[in-house]
Amino acid sequence: MRLTEPIVFVRLAFSLPGQTRQIDNEAIAEAAGTARSRTKALVKLYTSDAFTAIRASHIRAKRRLMDLAIQVPSLFSGSLVLPRRMLDRVEVILQEAQAETQQLVDAFIADGYQAEIARAKKELGPAFEAGDFPAPNVVAREFGFTWRYFSFDVPEDLPKAIRDREEKKLREEINQVAADCRNALREGLVAMVEHLVDRLRPDADGRRKRLHETTVGKLREFLDTLASRDITGDEAIRNLGDKAKALLGAVDVETLRTNSKVADRIQNGFAEVGKEVVALIKTEGGRRFNLDEEE
């Protein structure tokens, strides 16, 4: 397997203040009937909606990135593969997400931090420790949202024998990345298609299931960006993506909810597309990836 498009790797890094602290709670061990050395109790330090909103913004940013980049589980753990041609688009998304997160952090420090401390002091009781909540300017520095792009190469100043060996290893790793990217796009199309088919298929009593705007929206975005994310020249998956895109056309969610003929047509068409993708995976090989990783 070879790459047909240049790539970079991208890695997000988020940081938050410590959210829990371990306490030595002998009463918990006694109530559980276990030795204290085998019992661990934690207290949550931050529980406000304002703090939760910051964590949620991190998750949204990662999901937006994963919608455009490609996650490969076998190598370079924690990094995503990004086609270079999508670099400008991704940079805009990350800059906007970083700005949004910073606004939430500023609001939390200015308006919510003292309330968080007061709530913790009341609800934690004897387990409250003032040292868990430093001065606002200190805790503000514990929030972080950064990313970096990088690529891999072999240093030129290595002895020839070592350089040749390392270049061979790097070629093998990049080829594995290419194979994983191809498999991930195929598995991603299967997951999207099967989910829509399930939502459109009536229950045993003939009733339609609830269909969310996000289901169709995410599918459209996947289909719209599939060609841009194809870095291995996978003509088969591009053709199936185009077929699915043509089937969906300009149909909106409300039509799918209310027009059973249109819903049945798209359900049947997408079911066939799903079968073709599965057959492609079985014929050429591939792995079932976890495409729903949570933060």
Q: Record the tokens describing residue 284, joined without a space.
A: 């050429």
30/43 Cα distance (integer angstroms): 18
Phi then psi for residue 128, to 5 deg, are -70, 135
68/66 Cα distance (integer angstroms)? 5
Q: What is the pLDDT of residue 287?
A: 53
Instruction: Name the nearest CA neighbour of 66 among 104, 14, 12.
Output: 12
For residues 15 and 144, is the Cβ–Cβ distance under 8 A? yes
The pLDDT value recorded for residue 290 is: 46
The residues, ordered by sequence, that sit 6+ positions from 172 with a Cβ below 8 Å of its Cβ are none
| Residue type, position 97, single letter | A
Question: How many other C-beta atoms are found inside a 10 Å radius of the C-beta of residue 8?
Answer: 19
- For residues 136 and 92, what is the distance between their CA atoms, to the nearest angstrom? 30
Nearest to 216 by CA among 197, 240, 242: 197
Predicted confidence pLDDT, tens digits, the chain (295 residues): 778 888 999 999 999 999 998 887 777 777 777 887 777 888 899 999 999 999 999 999 999 998 888 877 655 667 889 999 999 999 999 999 999 999 999 999 999 999 999 999 999 998 899 999 999 999 999 999 999 999 888 988 999 999 999 999 988 888 888 888 898 899 999 999 999 999 999 887 878 888 999 999 999 999 999 999 999 999 999 999 999 999 999 999 999 999 999 999 999 999 999 999 999 988 876 554 444 444 3
Show Cβ contacts of residue 201 under 8 Å, excluding neighbours closer than 6 positions.
209, 267
The alpha-carbon radius of gyration of the chain (Å, integer) is 25
pLDDT, residue 141, reads 95
